[in-house]
Amino acid sequence: MQETKKSSKLGFFIKLFIFIVLVISLTNTAYIVHENEYAYVTRFSKFVKIQDTAGLHFKLPLLDKIETIPQQRMMYDIPPSEVLTGDKKTLVVDNFAVWQIDDPYTFMRTVSRITEMENRIDAVVYNAVKNTFGTMVQTTIINSDNRSIDDVNIKITEMVNAQLKSYGVSTVAVEIKRLDLPNDNEAAVYSRMISERTQMAESFRAEGNLEASKVVNETDKEVGILLSKASATAEELKGEGESEYMKIIAEAYSTEDRVDYYEFIRSLEALKVTMKGEKTLILPADNYIVKILNGN
């Protein structure tokens, strides 16, 4: 009975051992590749293959080593850095890069670590930003609109991709998040910007005054022309009136009867003025007024 019990226990332990060995073997033989993931397989530290198909795969236990690499796009928030502009002014640039691994084999052979790749992206982006802003004036950069900043981002991205290609990676985009001034010259730059805008305002005001002066001068000129024309017209009408008056006078004296009538009227007017008040007049008998009074 005791021997039977001992053999039964031994059989149990053997089965348990075999089960454990199978579990360990299965664990070391099978591996899972997830979506958006590469599996880099090596054997005795030598490259075997890249497994880019998601699912359950197998390897040689204890001989093969599996390293996973992300397939999806990754964003690296680059620490802010200072660069010099074309006019030797300092500018703080804060940007980020969206990047991905295109060639996992080249990536593993040259870098192999995500953190190491981010360090290299940092250096490459800094050089691209420095070279780009090194040809631009600080105030132009600060005053740039969104379209101009987009053009700068595209240029920097192209420069970065040219450098990262040798690592088997590429950047989808390098974007500027923020542009700042260093604390030591921020006030000076703001003061200069205010001064420039004040000068622009004065220039616009001067141009407006010049245009207003031109309008006033043109108006004065037109008024002068109108007054001259009016004066000429008035003189012309006056001349025509005097001419008409002289014509009427001439017609009045054109016949003897009209002359006598005109002298008669004039004599009556003169007599009316002369006889105002109590006056005594001594006139010769042949005077024209005496003849009128006598009815001759």
CATH number at residue 137: 3.30.479.30
The answer on 173 and 88 residing in a single domain is yes
pLDDT at 280: 67
- Range of lowest pLDDT (28-32, 40-44, 188-192): 188-192
Residue 209 included in any domain = no
What is the number of H-type helices and E-type strands within the chain? 8, 9
Is 205 within the bounds of a domain? no
Query: Does residue 89 sit in the same domain as residue 159?
Result: yes
DSSP state of 85: -
Assigned domain for 200 exists: no
The reply to whether 154 and 116 lie within a common domain is: yes
Using pLDDT thresholds of 50, 70 and 90, give the confidence band for residue 100.
Answer: very high
Q: What is the helix (H) or strand (E) element at residue 49, kind and residue range?
A: strand 46-51
Which of 92, 84, 106, 91 minimizes the C-alpha distance to 38? 106
Q: Verify that 49 and 131 share a domain, yes or no.
A: no
Last residue of one domain, picked from the residues 180, 203, 219: 180
99/170 same-domain check: yes
**Same domain, yes or no: 83 and 175:** yes
- Pairwise CA distance, residues 182 & 166, whole Å: 35
**Cβ–Cβ under 8 Å, residues 38 and 66:** no
> Per the structure, how many domains does the chain have?
3
61 and 79: one domain?
no
Q: How far apart are CA 269 and CA 243, in angstroms?
A: 25
Task: Give the torsion sign (CA, 111, 113, 114, 117).
Answer: negative
Domain membership flag for residue 212: no
User: Helix, strand or coil for residue 123?
Assistant: helix
Is residue 236 situated within a structural domain?
no
pTM of the model: 0.54
Q: Residue 221 and residue 215: Cα distance in Å, rounded?
A: 10
More reliable by pLDDT, 204 or 169: 169
Q: What integer best gives the mean pLDDT of the chain?
A: 78
Q: What is the mean pLDDT of residues 159-169?
A: 94
**Residue 189 pLDDT more than 60?**
no
Domain endpoint, select from 70, 105, 120: 70
pLDDT band for 118, please (50, 70, 90 cuts).
Answer: very high
CB atoms within 10 A of CB 64: 17
Domain-located, residue 62: yes
88 occurs within a structural domain: yes
- The identity of residue 209, as a single letter, is N
Same structural domain for residues 56 and 79? no
- Sequence-distant (6+) residues with CB within 8 A of 183 are none
Backbone angles phi, psi at 102, to 5 degrees: -90, -35
Average pLDDT over residues 196-209: 65
Domain boundary among 180, 208, 243: 180
Residues in the chain: 296
Determine the structural domain holding residue 56 and report its residue range: 2-70
Give the residue carrying structure tokens 């997830």: 34
Residue 54 is assigned to a structural domain of this protein? yes
Per-residue b or e along 125-151, where b marks 16 or more CB atoms closer than 10 Å to that residue's CB: bbebbeebbeebebeebbebeeeeeee
**Cα–Cα distance between 8 and 156 in angstroms, integer?**
75
If residue 39 lies in a helix (H) or strand (E), which one and from where to where? strand 37-43
Contacts of 49 (CB under 8 A, 6+ apart): 41
Least confidently predicted of 54-58, 135-139, 228-232: 228-232
Considering only CA atoms, which of 72, 79, 80, 123 is closest in space to residue 98?
72
